[in-house]
């Protein structure tokens, strides 16, 4: 059985709107337009901007909603809100605050 390693500094990072990102970063997210450019959804982590809302949600439940990833209460992802996979074995995890204004970011690898 392989083990899952999660690395995080557990620091809350503010979410930013597309309109507030540097121009170069904005070009990476051209799929967002209209008033959505003012939605808080981006976070900078290790020098890279991520769209924290363009993720797969993590759910501890027997009820699946959309493309949620269902996990057991003891799964390493159970304390996280969402993720973006970078490969089959690694990716980025997000844990949102109650107001969706801040996020803790981590990396996972198995």
The pLDDT tens digits along the chain (110 residues) read 458 899 999 999 999 999 999 999 999 999 999 999 999 999 999 999 999 999 999 988 766 666 788 888 888 999 999 999 989 899 999 999 999 999 999 999 98
Nearest to 94 by CA among 49, 65, 57, 59: 57
User: Tell me, what's the pLDDT at 17?
Assistant: 98
Burial of 39 (0-12, 13-18, 19+ CB in 10 A): middle
User: Tell me, what's the pLDDT at 80?
Assistant: 95
Show the tokens assigned to 57.
């949600």
**d(C-alpha 65, C-alpha 62), whole Å:** 10
Query: What's the structural domain count of the chain?
Result: 1
Q: Please give the model's pTM, rounded to 2 decimal places.
A: 0.87
**d(C-alpha 78, C-alpha 23), whole Å:** 35
Which residues span the domain enclosing 16? 5-109
User: Tell me, what's the pLDDT at 2?
Assistant: 57
Nearest to 103 by CA among 35, 52, 38: 52
């Amino acid at each position: 059985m392989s083990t899952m390693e999660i690395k995080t500094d557990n620091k809350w990072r503010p979410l930013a709107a597309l309109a507030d990102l540097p121009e170069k970063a904005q070009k990476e997210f051209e799929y967002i337009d209209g008033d959505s450019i003012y939605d808080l959804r981006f976070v900078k982590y290790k020098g890279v901007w991520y769209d924290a809302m363009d993720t797969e949600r993590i759910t501890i439940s027997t009820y699946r909603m959309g493309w949620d990833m269902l996990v057991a209460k003891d799964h390493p992802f159970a304390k996280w809100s969402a993720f973006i996979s970078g490969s089959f074995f690694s990716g980025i995890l997000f844990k949102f605050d109650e107001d969706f204004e801040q996020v803790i970011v981590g990396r996972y690898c198995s």
